[in-house]
Chain A
Amino acid sequence: MTSFDATPGLVVRDGVGPAFAEGGREVHEYDVIVVGAGGAGLRAAIEASARGVRTALICKSLLGKAHTVMAEGGIAAALGNVYPEDNWRVHFRDTMRGGKLLNNWRMAQLHAQEAPARVLELEEWGALFDRTQDGRILQRDFGGHRYARLAHVGDRTGLEMIRTLQQHAVHKGIDVFMECAIQRLIKDGDRVAGAIGYWRESGKLVVFRAKAVVLATGGIGKCWKITSNSWEYTGDGIGMALEAGAELIDMEMVQFHPTGMVWPPSVRGILVTEGVRGDGGTLKNSLGRRFMFDYIPDFFRAETAETEEEADRWYEDKTNNRRTPDLLPRDEVARAINAEVKAGRGSPHGGAFLDIASRRSADYIRRRLPSMYHQFKELADVDITAEPMEVGPTCHYVMGGVRVDADTAATRVPGLFAAGEVAAGLHGANRLGGNSLSDLLVFGRRAGLYAADYAKEHDLPSLDQSAVEGAGRAMVEPFDRTGGENPYAIHADLQDCMQDLVGIIRNEGELTRALDELERLKQRLATVTVHGNRQFNPGWHLALDLRTMLTVSEAATKSALLRKESRGGHTRDDYPSADAEWGRINVVTRRRAEGELELTTEPLPEMPAELKSLFEEKH
């Protein structure tokens, strides 16, 4: 690990004095820097380092605490251990259909083809997945997956994955910069040249000069009030990429996971794994009805069970029965719960009941879902082996993000790569559960590989000193103001705005109001004041994060306004159905030189005929 303060940093500010001093700057030079140390960032750094280039991994939190650690259910990969008939084509088809065919077909193909190798590689690095009877990796059912496909470790798969990658990475000569928050990319002409950020511990600014930069910064969920996401999910990478000249696509596609906790208020939004339904749990309304049977869309009718009996038989026999509607893709289930609550058939605290207690033995539940058992017991006084959970939708994932080349993870900015949730394309309009962890591995590796190749072919760029200084000044500016607003108040109002006006169900009137409100929030942010000094100051950190949060919120809202149809994670009650024309279109966001966002539409890449034919087969 690089010693935190071994290099003399910038002049430390304590609220007064000049923000920037010439010459005293802490600068690090690398071939490749990877920003973000969740699954994608770790996998990218491992790959880049393995290709023989000097690699740094930079993360906002301590190593091993990134959002990947919270992933529960599993990693989707067509290993075929439980159902030998599974293969990449079936996984590809499921992913595309789950994404309402808005996916980048090539990413979906690479993902389905490479995921099994990436999972087996984790085992080679020490991961211990749950086992089948014959000693292979066990796979579990999840929404939208035709076969039991998720390699898992109980309901703490993300922890196993991040720890395995972390422990593998620390022996590979990768320098890790922990609690170092990157704020801006620096360019040399068209190409990326590095980045500037600050040490959380000291508040000192730090500059990285690098031939290639991989963004693996995750999503934007902290812009919403009810969310499963942590403080880190502020859209840093999306905002930085946009500012550096990269394009975003489909920012309106935000996933609301159907099952977050709803009670007590303080835990509202915390994730309840889809594995509960994968392992036999069902959703019920206040009348005790398994209401998902009332919400089977035509698009999935042919492959979904119509009776409770068939649905229950499906868990044991997938050949002769169709999938339970409890495991429809997440967008469908979230809308159904939303509709039941609106119709007055919700649970006491405004959700739906999720019942596994009456369907599986207490032993089975505790073995398969230990952390859910623990979480409900300790946070909600609910014993999930004896009573149903109350659940409701929670903001969970953004399918949209930085536009990348499918094969190389390269953005439009030379030297800038993106992988994981920050990148867009793989999941289309809706991500299937389990496809995120496999995404991180497949495209994290590809981003690391192609960033290393790029670094080998290019010299170290020069840093634009005026850009560095400008960015540095902007970062410490909130300390210069007095009497302005508290960043926590602005954040709370942003979360209310996005929750109320850019939520699961949207319309033109509310989206327009959201844009007005975002404009007001921007003005308020210009006056934001922080207290105290620069040492580990969460108020300051939030004030800086709000800038990108407002940018990504605006991109999401404007994209949502533009897409006049309902598809996947984007539902408009003024355009309630999917539209074939819009189904062939990406919404593209760019940033003009003056700073405002410019939205256009572009046709999706055309799928080759042999892949198209997979969608014509009868299920």
Chain B
Amino acid sequence: MASADVIAPEKSRAAEVSGATPPRGDARLAHAGKQSVQMRVWRGGAAGGAFEDFHVPAQEGEVVLDVIHRIQATEAPDLAVRWNCKAGKCGSCSAEINGKPRLMCMTRMNSLPTDEPITVQPMKTFPVIKDLVTDVSYNYAKAREVPAFKPKPKGPDGVHRMYQEDVDRVQEFHKCIECFLCQDVCHVIRDHDENKAAFSGPRLFVRLAALEMHPLDDNDRLELIKQRAGLGYCNITKCCSEVCPEHIKITDNAIIPLKERVVTEYHDPIVWVYRKLTGQKRGKLEAAPATTETDPHR
């Protein structure tokens, strides 16, 4: 963490005004022998904004969030940024780094080219509140639309028996840290605000798949999945899976099985006739067979 001996803002401003030119941050570098980086951080609010350049030291092993914190401590104390755990577990510090949706706390500085400025800007899909902080209430509103988990009765011995192989698939979805990077990258809403009303987005599809494949769940969400969640908008380009910091196979393991379910339930004439004849209600989603891709993190 930056401490009190880092250049005071007054000092750096004075240097600029007097034309004594060294980029801000250099005095510390000179005696500490640390690498200087040029950060180009978007600053502004709902009414607009612009990139602002900061020259700051970066130490070995640091991540983008460390450097953002140094900017806060030394040059821009009101720079707005969300963060909590700083270990990739809470999903608060989502942003676009050099144009890519990433967690700032899990993006190592040494993984980025330093011969040009590193850009950090807020997620594009959500309205900007200030600087790197966006209004993600869309995601919470969509989450409220999902019918709650409803458990089946316990077994005769008073225990919910579930086997590891039955919960593995759902546990993959439960890894979601709600960073909303999948929502950010999704082209259905990224450039089309008008689609938000009718589209819940990949995060919510993961949530729906988790509920639908939950061995104990007994609720019916088919209407939501088919209609209001807008599953049909997704044309499985897998952008969401690529940005997921938890490496959840969103498209293959959540979205495609949900789409198959909708097809089976709504468009399969045999299923329709069978249900008419037997009076059986709509069934639950079977866990799809594992995809051929293997997740290196499991």
Contacts and interface: CB of A to CB of B under 8 A. Distances in A.
Contact of B78 (A168, A367, A378, A539): A539
Which has the most chain A C-beta neighbours within 10 Å: B2, B45, B131, B149? B149
B55 to A, nearest CB: 18
B79 to A, nearest CB: 7
A538 interface: yes
B275 interface: no
B174 A159 contact: yes
Interface residues of B, number: 68
Interface string B242-276: 00000000000000000000000000000000000
A163 B144 contact: no
Contacts of A65: 84-85, 90-92
Contact of A379 (B63, B84, B211, B217): B63
Contact of B149 (A135, A167, A486): A167
Contacts of A134: 161
Interface in A345-404: 366-367, 370-371, 373-375, 378-380
Interface string B137-173: 1001101100011010000000111111001001100
Contacts of B136: 62
Contacts of B161: 134-136
Contacts of B92: 61-62, 65
A326 interface: no
B151 A126 contact: yes
A267 B108 CA distance: 11
A537 B174 CA distance: 33
A231 B1 contact: no
A64 interface: yes
A520 B280 CA distance: 75
Given A264-B60, A488-B72, A128 B162 contact: yes
Contact of A266 (B59, B78, B88): B59
Contacts of A159: 89, 174-175, 177
Nearest to B105: A379
A532 B77 contact: yes
Contacts of B4: 489, 492-493
Contacts of A232: 84
Contact of B171 (A61, A128, A492, A535): A128
Nearest to B170: A128
Contacts of A530: 77-78
A75 interface: no
- Overall SS of chain B's interface: loop
Contact of A374 (B62, B73, B88, B130): B88
B87 A271 contact: yes
Contacts of B184: none
A329 B118 CA distance: 44
A380 B62 CA distance: 10
Contacts of B135: 201
A91 interface: no
B88 A131 contact: no
A167 B129 contact: no
B31 interface: no
Contacts of B298: 366-367, 370
B84 A536 contact: no
A156 interface: yes
A198 interface: no
Contact of B167 (A131, A156, A201, A271): A131
Interface string A473-489: 00000000000001111
Interface string A534-553: 01111110000000000000
A225 B2 CA distance: 11
Contacts of A535: 45, 80, 129-130
Interface in A261-284: 263-267, 270-271
Interface string A1-40: 1001000000000000000000000000000000000000
A230 B84 contact: yes
B82 interface: yes
Contacts of A380: 61
A488 B217 contact: no
Given A128-B214, A232-B84, A371-B89, A265 B60 contact: yes
A374 B297 contact: yes
B88 A375 contact: yes
Contacts of A270: 86-87
B174 A266 contact: no
B133 interface: yes
A230 B85 contact: yes
A170 B148 CA distance: 9
Contact of B159 (A62, A136, A154, A158): A136
Contacts of B74: 488
A67 B84 CA distance: 8
A460 interface: no
Interface of B: 1-4, 8-9, 45, 59-63, 66, 72-74, 77-92, 106, 108, 129-131, 133, 135-137, 140-141, 143-144, 148-149, 151, 159-164, 167, 170-171, 174-178, 211, 214, 216-217, 297-298
Which 6 pairs, one residue from A and one from B, show the smallest C-beta to C-beta distance? A264-B61, A532-B78, A539-B77, A135-B161, A126-B149, A488-B73
7 contacts: A65-B90, A70-B87, A374-B88, A379-B63, A380-B61, A488-B77, A533-B78
Given A265-B61, A266-B59, 4 more contacts: A63-B140, A126-B214, A135-B163, A530-B78
